[in-house]
Amino acid sequence: MFTDLVGDRAAEWDRTGRIPLDTLRGLGAKGLLCAQAPAAHGGLAFSSRRNGELTAHVGALCSSLRSVMTSQGMAAWTLRRLAGPGQQAALVPRLTGGELAAVAFSEAGAGSDLSALRTRITRDGDEVVVDGAKVWTTNAAYADLLVVFGRTEDGAGAVVVPVSAPGVRIERIEDPLGCRAAGHADIRLDGVRLPADALLQGVDRTPALLVTTALAYGRMSVAWGCTGILRGCLTAAARHAKAREQFGVRLADHQLVARHLAGLLVAEQSARRACEHASDLWDEGSPDMVTAAVLAKHVAATGAARGAARAVQVLASAGSRDGHTVARALRDAKLMEIIEGSSEICELMLAQHALATAG
């Protein structure tokens, strides 16, 4: 269904920076944007592995749409982990029913260092008041609901904010490097008053620990999406290398070009295996899945950034137009090395794991 729906429109969405809202709502109402949500809440109850395969498929077609899926899935997962049963029953069906959600933790002064969050969530009788400013929130420009992380009196918490609430201002980022139609926006929250049950239960931990819950899903989703980027780049590069001749032979018969194809295959297969491993651990409920998700995200994002550059090299001028699959991939994949824990932050976490398990 995604293949027909996206068709050849990914380039147009990328150029205009917009995916039609009815397209997103239609996919959302079928539960496809957060397919791991439980059936009891209107979801498709996909395993992590099955949702991953779907995410890779969409990632090969359009990274902006895949980014929207990542945000919606991350919001649904955060509710599943941090909301009480009543909150879940009230909120998750909205996400499987066509409403759109974004997850906001980053701030101007708190990027990699989430301990620096300054947004305040203050209890005031039977209300909570939210004050702060978020940056670079994917899907926020399309969203009905925002899952906002901030400081509480007791530590940290997350609150569900309708974008229609007085005091919320969404400022779309019009010129992102890549994933241009993913609805990135900065958010102002000025004295936003909400009923007390907007604050998710099961909270009051450190900001970094709290956000890690959301990021675990985000990492898996981005990793699978990057596997899709690599698949799309490999297909485009291989087709071109077979079809075009220079110096009297196919490009594929020049060994230096063939090396790029081998590099793309190695990157795609390595990313896929790392994702499959992490998803299987996720589906088993293994605690090892936390590190496996970081590993998968790191392998897939770095592989996709390098792989996309290889694909552009193989297509050369044929892939050098704005909107071409490999040109989009080059811009989109670079951003995947920044989000859900940058490459450097992933390396630090993997090094800590290596040190802890060295004995």
Residue from 344, 351, 352, 354 that binds ligand FAD (CB under 6 A)? Answer: 344
Indicate whether 46 belongs to the interface with ligand FAD (CB under 6 A). Answer: no
CB closest to ligand FAD, residue no: 111
Indicate whether 112 belongs to the interface with ligand FAD (CB under 6 A). Answer: yes
Smallest Cα–Cα separation from 304: which of 179, 154, 182? 179
Q: Which stretch binds ligand FAD (CB under 6 A): 79-87, 130-138, 190-198, 268-276?
A: 130-138
Distances 55 to 20, 48, 144, 350 between C-alpha atoms, Å = 19, 10, 22, 24
Please name every residue paired with 186 in a beta bridge, in sequence order, or none if there are none.
171
Indicate whether 342 belongs to the interface with ligand FAD (CB under 6 A). Answer: yes
Contact of 56 with 17, CB cutoff 8 Å: no
The residue behind tokens 């590993």 is 295
Q: Which stretch binds ligand FAD (CB under 6 A): 25-33, 122-130, 193-201, 331-339?
A: 331-339
Strand extents, DSSP E, the chain: 101-104, 120-124, 127-137, 145-152, 155-162, 168-172, 185-195, 245-246, 249-250
Indicate whether 71 belongs to the interface with ligand FAD (CB under 6 A). Answer: yes
Contact of 289 with 212, CB cutoff 8 Å: no
Indicate whether 217 belongs to the interface with ligand FAD (CB under 6 A). Answer: no
Chain positions 180 to 209 lying near ligand FAD, rule: CB under 6 A, are: 184
Indicate whether 145 belongs to the interface with ligand FAD (CB under 6 A). Answer: no
Nearer to ligand FAD, 94 or 219 (CB): 219
Q: Which stretch binds ligand FAD (CB under 6 A): 85-93, 124-132, 194-202, 337-345?
A: 337-345
Residue 328 and residue 116: Cα distance in Å, rounded?
33
Least Å distance, CB 74 to ligand FAD, is: 8
Q: Which stretch binds ligand FAD (CB under 6 A): 2-10, 11-19, 103-111, 202-210?
A: 103-111
Indicate whether 173 belongs to the interface with ligand FAD (CB under 6 A). Answer: no
Q: Kindly compute the dihedral angle of the four CA atoms of residues 195, 199, 201, 203, in this order, to the nearest 10 degrees.
A: -150
Indicate whether 96 belongs to the interface with ligand FAD (CB under 6 A). Answer: no
Indicate whether 72 belongs to the interface with ligand FAD (CB under 6 A). Answer: no
Distances 306 to 32, 66, 198, 260, 342 between C-alpha atoms, Å = 29, 19, 42, 10, 15
Indicate whether 179 belongs to the interface with ligand FAD (CB under 6 A). Answer: yes
Nearer to ligand FAD, 39 or 108 (CB): 108
Residue 193 and residue 352: Cα distance in Å, rounded?
41
Other C-beta atoms closer than 10 Å to the C-beta of 31 total 22
Residue from 48, 106, 213, 221 that binds ligand FAD (CB under 6 A)? Answer: 106
Indicate whether 162 belongs to the interface with ligand FAD (CB under 6 A). Answer: no
Binding site for ligand FAD (CB under 6 A): 71, 103-106, 111-112, 136-138, 176, 179, 184, 335, 338-339, 342, 344-345, 348
